[in-house]
């Protein structure tokens, strides 16, 4: 496609011409798909990200400013979507691993007929940045200053996290007692 023809289609698409937008999408779909196949090495994921990119392009076509080639703009969108997908999957894996460990600990403590499962459930509901200082303080006896050194935080931040975390734990554990 000629550059002039593409620029005309872009102008029309920005103004809301759906036929022009459709033509742009058709002309760039294959290019984008090939790019994402090389990046993802996964045809299904490449197809998904290509389609997400096209949707994002349709939603944001009015933001295209013409400073770069249209194909470069699409690649930028696709790359960002792919990176976001990787981050999301990494967070999901981390959460799943944490949940697996927590289930294993619950099972082990239930075998000991310990009251710990309720505490573990409540602790598992806290974020790591809150759970860690509580465990260091109340299960291992570290001082606020020592925890601050370990976590490379200000002592006031450690105190605040422990205070708010314990408040949350008390609320959760008293809620469990009512159930």
**What is the per-residue pLDDT across 28-82, written as a single tens digit (0 to 9) for each?**
899 899 898 888 888 999 999 999 999 999 899 888 888 878 888 899 899 999 9
Specify the number of domains making up the chain. Answer: 2
pTM of the model: 0.51
The answer on 82 and 132 residing in a single domain is no
**pLDDT for the residue 154:** 95
Question: Whole domain around residue 49: which residue ranges?
Answer: 1-89
Chain CA centroid to CA 57, Å: 21
The answer on 79 and 15 residing in a single domain is yes
Question: Among residues 71, 89, 107, which one ends one of the domains?
Answer: 89
Q: What Cα–Cα distance (Å) separates residue 19 from each residue in 23, 90, 141, 149?
A: 6, 39, 68, 62
- Is residue 103 in some structural domain? no
**pLDDT for the residue 179:** 46
Contact 38, 94 (CB under 8 A): no
């Amino acid at each position: 496609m000629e550059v002039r023809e593409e620029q005309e289609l872009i102008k029309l698409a920005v103004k809301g011409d759906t036929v022009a937008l459709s033509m742009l999408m058709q002309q760039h779909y294959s290019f984008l798909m090939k790019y994402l196949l090389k990046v993802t090495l996964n045809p299904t994921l490449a197809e998904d990200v290509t389609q997400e990119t096209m949707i994002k392009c349709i939603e944001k076509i009015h933001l295209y400013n013409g400073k770069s080639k249209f194909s470069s703009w699409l690649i930028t969108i696709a790359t960002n979507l792919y990176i976001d997908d990787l981050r999301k999957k990494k967070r999901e894996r981390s959460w799943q691993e944490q949940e697996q460990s927590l289930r294993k600990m619950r099972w082990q403590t239930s075998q000991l007929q310990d009251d710990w499962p309720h505490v573990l459930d409540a602790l598992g509901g806290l974020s790591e940045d809150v759970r860690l200082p509580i465990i260091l303080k109340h299960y291992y006896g570290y001082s606020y200053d020592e925890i601050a050194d370990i976590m490379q935080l200000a002592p006031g931040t450690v105190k605040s996290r422990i205070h708010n975390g314990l408040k949350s734990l008390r609320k959760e554990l008293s809620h469990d007692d009512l159930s």
